[in-house]
C-alpha cells in the first residue's frame, strides 16, 4: 500500500474509534441527563406533596375548630359574646394559628324574623345593629366574634351582602358541608386583611330533618365562620419545609389568572425566570372552592454535583475518546514500524547471505587463477617471451585486485553477520605503521608519489588486534595513494596523548567536500570525482575500516579540503566508551 493511502486508512480507523467512543459516551451522557431530569421532577413533586400534606392537615384542624364552635351554638342558644371569646381563647390562635384572623358565628335571619332577632340581640347589647343597614330579604349578621389580634370586636356585620361570602354561605347551607369562600378582598366581620378566605360551617336547628337541600335551607340556624389570612397561611405551609429553590403562587381559580395571585412566595418570580426551572400548575378544591397553585422549582432543586453529571460525562467521554484514539494510533503505528523493521532485517539478511555466498564462490576460482598465473610467471610452463611475461603480469595484477575486493566483501559479510572477533594484544603501533609504510612504498613509487613515515622517537603501543588494525590502516594509506595525483605526498604518523593513541594519514590529494564527508563511511559508497574512473574500488573500504576501528572502541576523524588534501585520524582512546564485540567466527 502506498504510504499516503496507509496514513489515510489509519486515520479512518482512529477517527472511527474516536467517534464510536464519543457516541457511546454521548449515549450514556443522555441517559444520565434523563436520570437527572427525572430526579429533578421527583424532587419537585416531593416538594408539592409536602405542601399538599401540610395543607390538608391544617384544614383538618380548622374543621375541628369550626365543629367545636358549631357544637357550642347548637347546645347553648343563650350564649354571650364573652362566652364565645372565652371558649376560643383556649385555642391560643395568636401563637398556634397566626394565620387565623378570627372565628365568628353569623345568624341566618330571614326578613320576617328580623324584629324578633334585633330584640333578642339588643337585650344582650343595646348598641347592636346590622351593618350595612337597609331592607333585604335575608340577613346573616355576625352575632359572636373572636378576632385575633383582639381589635374591633364589633358584631353585626352582615357578610351575606358580600357576593364572595354569599356564594360560600349558600353552598354551605345547601350541602351541609364546610365551604370555603374565594378570597375576600372586602374587609368586615372576621376578615381584616385584604386577602383572606373564610370557611363556613352551617349550623341547623336541632331535630330538623336534613336530607335534602330544601330541608337544610329550611332548618338553617346560622354559620360558624373562620377567616384565614392567605399570606400567613401559605407562608406557614412553606415555612414547614423552607426551600430556597422552591416557590409557590396561589390563585383563586374563580378569578382570571392575570397577575391575580392571592399569594406569591418572594422567590417565585426569580425562580420562574431562571433557565432550567420547572413550573407546574395544580388545580385543587378545598372545601368546595377551586384554587390553583403554581409551583416552581429552580434548577438548584437538585445539587450542582448531580446537575453537572451529564456535562462531566461528556467531558470525560471526550477525554477518553481522545486517549483511546491516541492509543489506537500508537498501536497501529508501532505495528507498522515493527513490520517495516522486520522487513528491513529480512532484506538485509538476504543481502548478507547473497554477499557471503557470492564472495565464497568467487574466491576459490580467483585463487586458482592466481596460482596458475604465478606458476607460469615462475617458468613452470616453459620459457616465456618478454611479451608473454608482460601480459601475464597484467593478468596477475588484475587478479590480485580482484582477490582484494573479494576479501573485503568477505570481511563485510562476516562483519554484518557479527562474526568478527578481535584478538587484542599489546601491539607496537610504531612498528605496525612501519610495516604498512614498506608494503605501500611500491604502490606509491609506481604513482610517483612521496610516501613519508614520521616515526615517533618513543615507542607507541596500544591494545589492538594486529591483523585487523593493520588492515584498517592499510586501507586508509591505500586510499590516500589512490586519491592523490602523481607527484603528491602522503605522510603517516602516530602519537600518544593523555587520552588516546592517534594514527594519522595525511595526503595532499583531491580532498572531499564537507557534505560528502558524511557519507564516505557508508557501505558501497564511491564518490564521483576526477580520479574515480582511474582507480579501482568497491566503495566498502572505508565502511570496513570504520567498523574495525569502532570494534576497537575508537573512531575516525576526517579533515579534508577539496583540491588540497585529506587527513584521516584514527583515535584509540584508552578508556573505551564502546564495548568491543566478542563473538565467535
Ligand atoms: P573505494 O573502494 O571507492 O575507495 P572507500 O570506501 O575506500 O571506497 O572510499 C569511499 C570513497 O571515499 C572513495 O570512493 C573516495 O571518493 C573517497 N575517499 C576515500 N579516501 C579518500 C582520500 N584520501 N581522499 C579523497 N577521497 C577519498
Per residue in 403-430, pLDDT tens?
888 888 888 888 887 888 899 999 999 9
pLDDT at 259 over 60: no
What is residue 391's predicted lDDT score, i.e. its pLDDT? 93
> 3-state DSSP call for residue 563?
coil
Phi, psi of 115 (to 5 degrees): -60, -45
Give the angle subtended at the CA of 564 by the CAs of 558 and 568, to the nearest 5°. 20
Is residue 542 in contact with ligand 1, taking CB distance under 6 Å? yes
Is residue 541 in contact with ligand 1, taking CB distance under 6 Å? yes
Peptide bond into 132 cis (omega under 30): yes
What is residue 576's predicted lDDT score, i.e. its pLDDT? 53
Per residue in 201-212, pLDDT tens?
999 998 889 999
Per residue in 174-187, pLDDT tens?
999 999 988 776 56
Check residues 193 and 388 and name the one with the higher pLDDT. Answer: 388
Counting residues of the chain whose pLDDT is more than 70, the rounded percentage is 93
Q: What is the pLDDT averaged over residues 279-296?
A: 83
Is residue 485 in contact with ligand 1, taking CB distance under 6 Å? no
pLDDT at 543 over 70: yes
Residue bearing the CA closest to ligand 1, atom 2:
537
Is residue 466 in contact with ligand 1, taking CB distance under 6 Å? no
> Which segment of 102-106, 406-410, 471-475 scores lowest on mean pLDDT?
406-410
Is residue 546 in contact with ligand 1, taking CB distance under 6 Å? no
Is residue 507 in contact with ligand 1, taking CB distance under 6 Å? yes
Q: Ligand 1: which of 402, 412, 504, 520 to mutate, most ligand atoms within 8 Å of CB?
A: 520
Per residue in 140-188, pLDDT tens?
999 999 988 777 778 899 999 998 899 999 999 999 999 998 877 656 6
Residue 527 has which C-alpha cell? 564518490
Peptide bond into 80 cis (omega under 30): no
Q: What is the pLDDT averaged over residues 326-337?
A: 88
Residues 561 and 517: beta-carbon distance below 8 Å: no
For the CA of 539, the nearest atom of ligand 1: 8
Is residue 512 in contact with ligand 1, taking CB distance under 6 Å? yes
DSSP state string for 381-407: T----HHHHHHHHHHHHHHHHHHHHHH
For the CA of 525, the nearest atom of ligand 1: 10
pLDDT at 264 over 90: no
Residues 238 and 265: beta-carbon distance below 8 Å: yes
Using pLDDT thresholds of 50, 70 and 90, give the confidence band for residue 584: very low
> Which segment of 329-343, 439-453, 546-560 scores lowest on mean pLDDT?
329-343
Residues 99 and 214: beta-carbon distance below 8 Å: no
Using pLDDT thresholds of 50, 70 and 90, give the confidence band for residue 578: very low
Using pLDDT thresholds of 50, 70 and 90, give the confidence band for residue 258: very low
Using pLDDT thresholds of 50, 70 and 90, give the confidence band for residue 561: very high
Residue 28 to residue 303: CA distance in whole angstroms: 20
Is residue 525 in contact with ligand 1, taking CB distance under 6 Å? yes
Count of CB atoms within 10 A of residue 262's CB? 21
For the CA of 509, the nearest atom of ligand 1: 24
What is the CA(171)–ligand 1 centre distance, in A? 123
How many angstroms separate the Cα of 49 from the Cα of each of 36, 198, 216? 20, 24, 36
pLDDT at 484 over 70: yes
> Which segment of 234-243, 341-350, 465-474, 534-543 scores lowest on mean pLDDT?
234-243
Four-way CATH pick for 425-584: 3.30.565.10, 3.40.50.300, 2.60.120.10, 3.40.630.30: 3.30.565.10
pLDDT at 585 over 60: no
What is the CA(505)–ligand 1 centre distance, in A? 13
Is residue 529 in contact with ligand 1, taking CB distance under 6 Å? yes
Q: What is the pLDDT averaged over residues 35-46?
A: 80
| Average pLDDT taken over every residue of the chain | 86
Amino acid at each position: 500500500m502506498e504510504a499516503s493511502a496507509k496514513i489515510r486508512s489509519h486515520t479512518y480507523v482512529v477517527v472511527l474509534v474516536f467517534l464510536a467512543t464519543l457516541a457511546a459516551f454521548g449515549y450514556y451522557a443522555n441517559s444520565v441527563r434523563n436520570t437527572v431530569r427525572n430526579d429533578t421532577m421527583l424532587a419537585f413533586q416531593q416538594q408539592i406533596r409536602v405542601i399538599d400534606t401540610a395543607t390538608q392537615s391544617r384544614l383538618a384542624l380548622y374543621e375541628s375548630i369550626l365543629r367545636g364552635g358549631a357544637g357550642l351554638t347548637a347546645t347553648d342558644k343563650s350564649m354571650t359574646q364573652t362566652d364565645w371569646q372565652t371558649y376560643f381563647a383556649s385555642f391560643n390562635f395568636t401563637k398556634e394559628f397566626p394565620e387565623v384572623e378570627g372565628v365568628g358565628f353569623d345568624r341566618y335571619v330571614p326578613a320576617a324574623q328580623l324584629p324578633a332577632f334585633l330584640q333578642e340581640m339588643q337585650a344582650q347589647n343595646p348598641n347592636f345593629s346590622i351593618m350595612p343597614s337597609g331592607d333585604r330579604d335575608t340577613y346573616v349578621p355576625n352575632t359572636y366574634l373572636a378576632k385575633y389580634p383582639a381589635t374591633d370586636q364589633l358584631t353585626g356585620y352582615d357578610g351575606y351582602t358580600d357576593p364572595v361570602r354569599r356564594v360560600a354561605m349558600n353552598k354551605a347551607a345547601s350541602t351541609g358541608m364546610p365551604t370555603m369562600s374565594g378570597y375576600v378582598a372586602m374587609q368586615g366581620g372576621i376578615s381584616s386583611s385584604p386577602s383572606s378566605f373564610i370557611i363556613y360551617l352551617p349550623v341547623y336547628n336541632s331535630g330538623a330533618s336534613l336530607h335534602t337541600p330544601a330541608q337544610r335551607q329550611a332548618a338553617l340556624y346560622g354559620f360558624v365562620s373562620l377567616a384565614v389570612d392567605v399570606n400567613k397561611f401559605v407562608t406557614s405551609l412553606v415555612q414547614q419545609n423552607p426551600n430556597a429553590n422552591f416557590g409557590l403562587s396561589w390563585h383563586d381559580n374563580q378569578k382570571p389568572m392575570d397577575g391575580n395571585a392571592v399569594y406569591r412566595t418572594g422567590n417565585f418570580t426569580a425562580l420562574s425566570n431562571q433557565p432550567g426551572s420547572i413550573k407546574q400548575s395544580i388545580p385543587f378544591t378545598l372545601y368546595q372552592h377551586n384554587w390553583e397553585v403554581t409551583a416552581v422549582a429552580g434548577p438548584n432543586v437538585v445539587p450542582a454535583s448531580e446537575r453537572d453529571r451529564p456535562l462531566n460525562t461528556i467531558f470525560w467521554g471526550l477525554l477518553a475518546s481522545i486517549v483511546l484514539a491516541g492509543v489506537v494510533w500508537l498501536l497501529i503505528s508501532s505495528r507498522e514500524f515493527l513490520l517495516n523493521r522486520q522487513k528491513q532485517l529480512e532484506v538485509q539478511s538476504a543481502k548478507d547471505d547473497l554477499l557471503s555466498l557470492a564472495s565464497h564462490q568467487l574466491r576459490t576460482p580467483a585463487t586458482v587463477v592466481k596460482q596458475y598465473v604465478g606458476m607460469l610467471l615462475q617458468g613452470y610452463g616453459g620459457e616465456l617471451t618478454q611479451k608473454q611475461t608482460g601480459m601475464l603480469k597484467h593478468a596477475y595484477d588484475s587478479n590480485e585486485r580482484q582477490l582484494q575486493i573479494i576479501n573485503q566483501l568477505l570481511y563485510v559479510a562476516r562483519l554484518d553477520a557479527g562474526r568478527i572477533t578481535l584478538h587484542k594484544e599489546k601491539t607496537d603501533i610504531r612498528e605496525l605503521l612501519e610495516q604498512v609504510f614498506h608494503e605501500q612504498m611500491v604502490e606509491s613509487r609506481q604513482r610517483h608519489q612521496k610516501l613519508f613515515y614520521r616515526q615517533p622517537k618513543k615507542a607507541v603501543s596500544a591494545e589492538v588486534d594486529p591483523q585487523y588494525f593493520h588492515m584498517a590502516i592499510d586501507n586508509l594509506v591505500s586510499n590516500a595513494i589512490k586519491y592523490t595525483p602523481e607527484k603528491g605526498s602522503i605522510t603517516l604518523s602516530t602519537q600518544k596523548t593523555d587520552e588516546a593513541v592517534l594514527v594519522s594519514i595525511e595526503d595532499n590529494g583531491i580532498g572531499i567536500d564537507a557534505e560528502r564527508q558524511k557519507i564516505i563511511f557508508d557501505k558501497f559508497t564511491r564518490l564521483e570525482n576526477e580520479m574515480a574512473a582511474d582507480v579501482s574500488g568497491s566503495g566498502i573500504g572505508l565502511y570496513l575500516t570504520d567498523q574495525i576501528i569502532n570494534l576497537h572502541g575508537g573512531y575516525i576523524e576526517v579533515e579534508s579540503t577539496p583540491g588540497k588534501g585529506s587527513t584521516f585520524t584514527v583515535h584509540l582512546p584508552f578508556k573505551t566508551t564502546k564495548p568491543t564485540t566478542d563473538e565467535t567466527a
